[in-house]
Amino acid sequence: LEDLVVRPAHVFREKQGIEVRLGHTAQKIDRQARTILGRTSAGDGFQESYDKLLIATGARPRIPDIPGNDLPGLKALKGLEDGRRIKDYIFSKQVREVLIVGTGYIGLEMAETFHSLGIQVHMTEMMPGLLPWLPDQMAEVVRKELDDKGVGVRFSNGIRAVEQRNGKLMAICDSNEYLVDMVLIAAGVVPNSEIAADAGLELGPANAIAVDRFLRTSDADIFSAGDCADAFHVVTGRKVWIPLALRANRSGWAVGDNVTGGNVELPGIVGSAVFKVLDLEVARTGLSLEEARMAGFDPVQNLIQSRSRAHAHPGNTTIHVNLVADAPTGRLLGGAMVGKEGCAHRINALAVGLHAGMTVAEFFQCDLAYAPPFSPVWDPLLTAANQLLRKVR
């Protein structure tokens, strides 16, 4: 676990002269006095003044408000300490069967992790299907992969309670019960924005802290960055809350510049995301058909199947590509890919197309690289764009 720490606190102190105080929880912002009040892990109060303030409190797992949600066998994964606790529990209790609540990317990645440890995995999901931003046929590819590896998923099956039963946990869901050794809650995250809300700062989508393109909150001397803050979506121009690592990092750096005399303006995000589940790569960027409709576009989509490498090259596998465009203008709005290889990095070309505001016709003219071990001559993205062209005016 120590290997996962990018930069320990002492390096900030010794190399950068940045005072990092661990075990200090900020509890209140007094904007009039420009002061932070908080408490240390030893229980002592502390107070600190500021000229400029950055709130980068991140997000926390959403834990359903159900009976038994405080039982020791019920876990959630957010930070390294959670990872340590889960590992200790698995090995000390000899966990053989786990229920994962939620089929988002953390739930799916953990399904793979547990599966690789030889643990029997069940998943339950309150929504009627998997990954609602994927077209049904692509979501079915992911579901089949889980099924093939013995991971059972039930939909429209929210968790209602967890009880202790003879050293095991009984998870009671809408349509069935699971008797397991451990329950992992992977039901999404919520922004740690209460400290900002209590100080009267404006909130945005999902109660994330509202910031402008310079990462300023509604108080010009208070900035916010990372999972606790909202962002602009480049495709819609609207505010969104998509808590992911690159945009957290980028916004943190921008605040660093802006509080030290810089003037960095961020255009926004396109919601690019990728994850691996068992033998599949799943990637997305931009808007799904439904999201595009909700944003006021008149969208069309087209789903194709292509190959990850040239057809005669050994090891080539199927890639599913779905592209979404605005029918009247031909503007590219988003896309998603599922396959055993070649999705994770390919999606980035599409993300750049979205940042550039390209039409499908413009994207189709892009000069993408080709060699047999990596792609057919016509990259799957180009084939998908070509076919989508027929559906836009």
Give min distance, CB of 12 to ligand FAD, in A: 13
Contact 175, 157 (CB under 8 A): yes
DSSP-assigned letter for residue 233 = B
Tokens matching residue 286: 């931009």
C-alpha to C-alpha distance for 312 and 224, rounded to whole angstroms: 51
Q: Does 248 bind ligand FAD (CB under 6 A)?
A: yes
**Residue 84 within binding range of ligand FAD, rule CB under 6 A:** no
Between 248 and 333, whose beta carbon lies closer to ligand FAD?
248
* Distance, CA of 181 to CA of 73 (rounded, Å): 7
107 binds ligand FAD (CB under 6 A): no
Task: Decide: 185 and 102 in contact? Cβ < 8 Å.
Answer: yes
Q: How far is the CB of 346 from ligand FAD (least distance, A)?
A: 17
**Minimum distance from residue 52 beta carbon to ligand FAD (Å):** 17
Contacts (Cβ under 8 Å, ≥6 apart) of 366: 349, 353, 382
Concatenated DSSP letters for 70-103? T-TTEEE--SHHHHHHHHHHHHHTT--EEEEE--
With CB under 6 A as the contact rule, the residue among 71, 206, 244, 264 that binds ligand FAD is 244
Q: Are 141 and 148 in contact (CB under 8 A)?
A: no
Q: Indicate whether 25 belongs to the interface with ligand FAD (CB under 6 A).
A: yes
Q: Give the residue with the Cβ less far from ligand FAD, 248 or 360.
A: 248
Indicate whether 245 belongs to the interface with ligand FAD (CB under 6 A): yes
Among 7, 78, 165, 213, binds ligand FAD (CB under 6 A): 78
* Angle (CA) 313 116 8, round 5°: 100
- Segment interacting with ligand FAD, rule: CB under 6 A, options 40-48, 239-247, 319-327, 332-340: 239-247
Q: Which is nearer to ligand FAD, 39 or 307 (CB)?
A: 39
Question: If binding is defined by CB under 6 A, does position 63 make contact with ligand FAD?
Answer: no
Nearer to ligand FAD, 18 or 377 (CB): 18
Residue 300 Cβ, how far from ligand FAD at the closest point, in Å?
Answer: 29
Q: Does 47 bind ligand FAD (CB under 6 A)?
A: no
Strands 177-180 and 168-173, sheet pairing:
antiparallel
Alpha carbons 121 and 10: distance in angstroms, whole number: 39
Among the residue ranges 11-19, 201-209, 245-253, 289-297, the one whose residues contact ligand FAD (CB under 6 A): 245-253
Longest dimension (CA), the chain: 70
> Among residues 37, 56, 304, 344, which is the contact residue for ligand FAD, using CB under 6 A?
56
Choice between 106 and 222, CB closer to ligand FAD: 106
Q: Binding of ligand FAD at residue 227 (CB under 6 A)?
A: yes
List, in order, residues 6 or more apart from 165 with CB less than 8 Å away.
Answer: 179
Q: Would you say 53 or 169 has its CB closer to ligand FAD?
A: 53
Q: Residue 305: how many CB atoms within 10 A of its CB?
A: 15
Instruction: Say if residues 5 and 12 touch (Cβ distance below 8 Å).
Output: no
Q: What are phi and psi of 319, to 5 degrees?
A: -120, 130
C-alpha distances (whole Å) from 219 to each of 53, 59, 196 are 10, 21, 10
Question: In this complex, which beta carbon is closest to ligand FAD, that of residue 170 or of residue 206?
Answer: 206
The DSSP symbol for 166 reads T
How near is the Cβ of 387 to ligand FAD at its closest, in Å? 30
Which is nearer to ligand FAD, 269 or 289 (by Cβ)?
A: 269
Q: Of the listed pieces 52-60, 210-218, 304-312, 343-351, which binds ligand FAD according to CB under 6 A?
A: 52-60
Distance of closest approach, residue 58 Cβ to ligand FAD, in angstroms: 2
Query: Of residues 103, 124, 157, 192, which one binds ligand FAD by CB under 6 A?
Result: 192
Q: Residue 385 — left, alpha, or beta (φ > 0 → left; ψ -120 to 50 → alpha)? A: alpha
Distance CA(170)–CA(162), nearest Å, equals 6
Q: Does 100 bind ligand FAD (CB under 6 A)?
A: no
Question: Judged by CB under 6 A, which of 74, 99, 106, 269 binds ligand FAD?
Answer: 106
Q: Which residues bind ligand FAD (CB under 6 A)?
A: 25-26, 56-59, 77-78, 106, 192, 195, 226-227, 243-246, 248
